């Protein structure tokens, strides 16, 4: 299907279109488990596109990523993709306009498709963006590497690259939409709040410990409301996604706001679990597994000690009123 790398030796491909491929190259290249990133063109009908012809041939600027699935999960790549783009723009990305700069996730198998679709649904539901998520999820087609001067442009022309990123509006958009919002109930005073944690809360969130199953605050909580980070207050999970996994820890089908959850592959080569951390307070929350209920098939297995529960009747009082719509 893909001609960028030849023999893959057990490695996998991921392909994303996010507007200017210069800006999409660097964020993936720095991830542990990514072997190589190529800028190029894909998604169209015409053969052998060039920088001057790819748009007319129906192609998009894209990056093709060769990664080791034993070191990095595809979900982490999708999370990284969302945080680089404006997924609501149907006509381009930032200063670059035209169909060749529109966004898409090109899936290489059914596993990638399911992960991408679940992730898109989660992002749409989070309320992070006022407009609909329009990024397409479509089958991967032949990928054509771009001309040599486009490869690793951020390394070859660092000053021009940084000016372009800044002036294009991309960096400001990322800052505005992917940094913690200033809404009531959420704090940036992490150090002070860490000092207020109980010994168990501190061990879990700061030292990555795991609390006892069936002997924690929320494992059998069925009250409607949301769960926020114990340190920062950032919204993480919602009761309507909670289910009884039989494990003795709070389990959720999805994250409430993808912006506030970070997935991290374990540094231990013998530990294949995916760690779940909060994006802003960097609290250890728990782990993500692939044995959850449909349609996502995900199970966020979370420590109660990392969470604070806010019932529906207190959402407005504590500044989380936008989540009331999920309970109507």
What DSSP character marks residue 56?
Answer: T
| Active-site entry in 23, 208, 221, 301 | 301
Give the DSSP letter string of 137-151: EEE----EEPPGGGT
d(Cα 118, Cα 278) in Å, to the nearest integer? 19
Burial class (CB in 10 A: 0-12, 13-18, 19+), 157: middle
Provide the 3-class DSSP secondary structure of residue 184.
coil
Neighbouring CB atoms inside 10 A of 18's CB total 28
Neighbouring CB atoms inside 10 A of 264's CB total 17
Tell me if residue 301 is catalytic. Answer: yes
The answer to whether the Cα torsion of 308, 314, 315, 319 is positive or negative is negative
**Residue 230 pairs with which residues in a beta bridge?**
none
Provide the 3-class DSSP secondary structure of residue 28.
helix
Instruction: Measure Cα distances from 191 to 187, 203, 233, 234 in Å.
Output: 11, 15, 13, 15
Identify whether 136 is preceded by a cis peptide bond (ω within 30 of 0). Answer: no
d(Cα 129, Cα 88) in Å, to the nearest integer? 8
| Active-site entry in 20, 23, 208, 221 | 20
Tell me if residue 20 is catalytic. Answer: yes
d(Cα 110, Cα 118) in Å, to the nearest integer? 12
**Residue 186 backbone dihedrals phi, psi, to 5 degrees:** -110, 135
Which residue stretches of the chain are H helix? 21-29, 74-82, 110-126, 153-156, 158-168, 170-178, 190-195, 199-207
Q: Annotated catalytic sites, by residue?
A: 20, 301
């Amino acid at each position: 299907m893909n001609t960028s790398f030849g023999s893959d030796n057990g490695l996998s491909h991921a392909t994303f279109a996010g507007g200017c491929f210069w800006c999409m190259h660097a964020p993936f290249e720095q991830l542990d488990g990514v072997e190589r990133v190529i800028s190029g063109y894909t998604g169209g009908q015409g053969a052998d596109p060039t920088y001057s012809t790819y748009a007319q041939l129906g192609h998009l600027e894209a990056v093709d990523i060769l990664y080791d699935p034993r070191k990095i999960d595809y979900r982490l790549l999708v999370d990284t993709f969302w945080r680089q783009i404006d997924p609501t723009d149907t006509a381009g990305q930032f200063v670059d306009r035209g169909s060749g700069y529109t966004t898409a996730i090109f899936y290489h198998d059914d596993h990638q498709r399911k992960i991408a679709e679940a992730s898109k649904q989660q992002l749409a539901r989070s309320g992070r963006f006022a407009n609909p998520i329009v990024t397409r999820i479509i089958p991967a087609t032949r990928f054509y590497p771009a001309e040599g001067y486009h490869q690793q442009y951020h390394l070859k022309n660092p000053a021009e690259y940084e000016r372009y990123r800044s002036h294009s509006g991309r960096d400001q958009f990322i800052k505005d939409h992917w940094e913690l919002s200033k809404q009531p109930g959420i704090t940036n005073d992490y150090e002070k709040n860490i000092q207020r944690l109980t010994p168990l809360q501190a061990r879990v969130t700061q030292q990555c410990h795991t609390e006892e199953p069936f002997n924690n605050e929320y494992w059998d909580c069925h009250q409607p409301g949301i769960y926020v980070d114990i340190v920062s207050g950032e919204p993480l999970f919602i009761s309507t996604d909670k289910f009884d996994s039989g494990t003795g820890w709070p389990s959720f089908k999805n994250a409430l706001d993808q912006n506030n959850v970070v997935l991290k592959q374990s540094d231990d080569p013998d530990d294949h679990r995916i760690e779940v951390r909060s994006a802003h307070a960097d609290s250890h929350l728990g782990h993500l597994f692939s044995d959850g209920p449909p349609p996502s098939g995900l199970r966020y297995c979370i420590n109660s000690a990392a969470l604070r529960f806010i019932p529906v009747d207190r959402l407005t009082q504590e500044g989380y009123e936008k989540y009331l719509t999920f309970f109507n």
